[in-house]
Structure formats: C-alpha cells, structure tokens
Amino acid sequence: MRSKDRLDLSLAVVDSSSIRSTRGGEKTGKNPTDRAKSGSKHHLLVERHGIPLAVTLTGANRHDITELLNLVEQIPAIAGKRGRPRQKPKVVQGDRAYDSEPHRRALKKRG
C-alpha cells in the first residue's frame, strides 16, 4: 500500500472502544461506563485514512492512555518505497483521554 501511495503516515489517530464480555476471561475487567459489568477494551491506532497500524486488547477498566506508547511501539516497519521503511507517524492524535504531558514528552523523544 505504501508503494502505491495509499498509506499516509503523516497522521495517526488513536482511540478505544469497550465491549461487554459475558463469559469473562483473562483480558476483562469491570467496565466503569457500564455499571461495572465485565468487559474488554479494544485500543486501535490507524493511519490518516483509517488503515489499522496497531491494536491491543485490555480489560475494560484500563484507562486509554496506558496503551498509547504500547500502540506506537507496535507499529511495524512498512516497506514499499526506496530507503528505510517508515515506522513512525509524524503526528499522533487522540481525544482528551490521551492528553498527558509525560506521554507528549515520551512521543517527542521517540521522534
């Protein structure tokens, strides 16, 4: 996709969604937005056009920002053009749940 210019790493967007888990499991937790019912949370990082770059699964009680650096680190090297494969988006954007000065510094340090 990168060789056809269909992959745009100028912007990455991060967000999560919670789902109910009736059977429980290792990666479940009490969902604070669903009356403490058991659930999981999908954390997703996509490029500008919505193509997934990284995904993690945690318990629903896990705060969104705890997975931000993990998602960025999971982005694979993406070949398809001459030179070194791109691995880092230029900008990472998220909602208020991802707003943290220590995480901003950590992302800037990683380039």
What is the band of 68 on the pLDDT scale with cuts at 50, 70, 90?
very high
Number of domains in the chain: 1
Give helix then strand counts, H and E, for the chain.
2, 5
> Domain for residue 36, yes or no?
yes
> Domain for residue 43, yes or no?
yes
> Domain for residue 1, yes or no?
no
> Domain for residue 23, yes or no?
yes
Residue-wise pLDDT for 32-57, tens only, equals 666 667 788 889 999 999 999 999 98
> Domain for residue 84, yes or no?
yes
Residue-wise pLDDT for 72-105, tens only, equals 999 988 777 777 766 788 899 999 988 999 999 9
> Domain for residue 22, yes or no?
yes
> Domain for residue 101, yes or no?
no
Q: Which domain covers residue 45, as residue numbers?
A: 12-94
Q: Compute the residue count for the chain.
A: 111
The span from the first CA to the last CA of the chain, in angstroms, equals 23
> Domain for residue 100, yes or no?
no
